[in-house]
Structure 1
Amino acid sequence: MATSKIETFKLKADEEYIELNNLLKSLGWVATGGEAKIRIDQQEVKVNGEIELRRRKKMRAGDTVSFDGQEGKVE
């Protein structure tokens, strides 16, 4: 059984959060912000195990995101 690799996104020292649509783009999971919005609107993105519909959800340290078989965590 293959284990999926969890990608991490490290917040900068002066950042409290990153918005969900920007996180998807930063992780390279979508090509554009527009694609991120569509994927979120189509209920393809989960945050902390729940489908998330807020495009600009504030992702803080400890939050997890999953999309299209990929997993990520904000640190």
Structure 2
Amino acid sequence: MTIESEFVTLGQFLKMINAIQSGGMAKWFLSEYTVFVNGEAEDRRGRKLYPGDVITVPGAGRFRLAADESVGPYAD
């Protein structure tokens, strides 16, 4: 999974992979399913995910975040 920003939140990520329909469903999803970030259970929808992080989502799979190199460095 490629991101075009410095990071995405876990709630945004769940929406990106279509595990949830809206950002408001993130809290519910994380209370019902165990999501792992880099091998550790995570239930905070605001958890920042960076390129290199590995996220395992029940029923959706295992993902490694990568930076979109075409965007260039993250600068103002």
| Identical-pair percentage | 31
Residues 24 and 30, structure 1, Cα contact 8 Å, conserved in 2: yes
> Which deviates the most, 17-26 or 65-74?
65-74
Residue by residue over 1:13-52, the C-alpha shift from the partner in whole angstroms, topping out at 9 and shown as x without a partner, is xx11000000010111222212222122345211111110
Pairwise CA distance, 1:61: 0.3
Distance 2:47 2:33 in 1: 14
Distance 1:41 1:60 in 2: 22
Instruction: Name the residue aligned to 1:46.
Output: 36
Scaled by the length of structure 2, what TM-score is found? 0.73
Scaled by the length of structure 1, what TM-score is found? 0.74
Distance 1:27 1:43 in 2: 15
Q: Which runs of 5+ in 1 are unaligned?
A: 1-7
Matched pairs, number: 65
Pairwise CA distance, 1:73: 1.5
1:68 and 2:58 matched: yes
Alignment root-mean-square deviation, CA: 1.4
